[in-house]
Amino acid sequence: MLPQTNAEWLTALQTPGESRAAALEALRRLLLRGLGFALADRVGSREHPILEDAVQEALLKILAHLDTFQGRSRFTTWAQKIAVREALTMLRRKSWEDVALEDLQPPEGDFIPPALADKAANPAHHSERQALMALLMRLMQEELTEKQRRALMAVAVHGMPLAEVARRMNTNRNALYKLLHDARRRLKKRLEAEGLSPADLAAAFQEPQ
């Protein structure tokens, strides 16, 4: 008989032997089916191999963190949330797998990130954005190290996930976070010396009212 209550799931997964193997297989099927529904609009097929990979990774994390389950929800709900997080992480990573950090560096000439480009903006507003972005690019070139520029462009401008950038740069999240923190602090100091602030830049890229 498969586990039903939270206590039964915990007991089965913590007890070596056939009951544990059966519980793992039952949980694997539950998580796989749940991901198929939850991510149907993203993967297109419930047979997508990334779903199975995500479930396998989720099972490892679930087993390693059974002692953190506090019983505030159903065990299967808690486990499903872990599986969804794993699947979304894998999907984000896959969407960036063909993009090199070098591809995210600013091109020569005027540059406005695609996410900030407003084709409907009036010419004066568009020119202001271009001028401020050109200033920011120049300050990044003058104030930041190459490593800081690569990381900041990837994370802050193009939105590459922090974990993916850390992996590409052969570092860890904490070290990357410090690198970005130092870069932002140096840019903020230089902007203030130019008579600007991060708030001024943010206001320039907001939609006009």
Residue 99 host element (H or E): none
| Same-domain status, 74 and 128 | no
The burial class, CB within 10 Å (0-12 / 13-18 / 19+), for 23 is: buried
| Same-domain status, 190 and 170 | yes
Looking at per-residue pLDDT, the higher value among 114 and 32 belongs to 32
CA 169/CA 178 separation, integer angstroms = 14
Residue 80: per-residue pLDDT: 94
- Are 148 and 125 in contact by the 8 Å Cβ rule? The answer is no
Helix 6-14 crosses helix 75-95 at what angle (to 10 degrees)?
70
> Which backbone phi and psi does 18 adopt, to 5 degrees?
-65, -35
31 in a domain, yes or no?
yes
Residue 51: per-residue pLDDT: 87
pTM reported for the whole predicted model: 0.55
The mean pLDDT value for 70-98 works out to 85
The mean pLDDT value for 152-160 works out to 79
Closest by CA position to 180, among listed 202, 201, 152: 152
In the chain, how many domains are there? 2
| Same-domain status, 53 and 117 | no
Domain CATH number, residue 37: 1.10.1740
- Are 87 and 35 in contact by the 8 Å Cβ rule? The answer is yes
| Same-domain status, 18 and 48 | yes
Residue 103: per-residue pLDDT: 60
- Are 59 and 24 in contact by the 8 Å Cβ rule? The answer is yes
Express each pLDDT in 98-152 by its tens digit.
666 666 665 554 444 544 445 455 556 667 767 777 777 888 888 889 899 888 8
| Same-domain status, 46 and 124 | no
Tokens 């950038």, residue?
Answer: 165
Express each pLDDT in 172-208 by its tens digit.
989 999 999 999 899 888 888 888 777 766 665 554 4
Residue 187: per-residue pLDDT: 87
Structural domain range at position 35 = 6-95
1 in a domain, yes or no?
no
How far apart, in Å, are the Cα atoms of 33 and each of 12, 37, 39, 90, 199?
21, 7, 10, 17, 46
Percent of the chain scoring above 70 in pLDDT? 76
| Same-domain status, 11 and 29 | yes
pLDDT tier, 60 (very low <50, low <70, confident <90, very high otherwise): very high
Of 61, 95, 129, which residue sits at a domain end? 95
49: pLDDT strictly greater than 50? yes
41 in a domain, yes or no?
yes
Residue 137: per-residue pLDDT: 80
| Same-domain status, 117 and 181 | yes
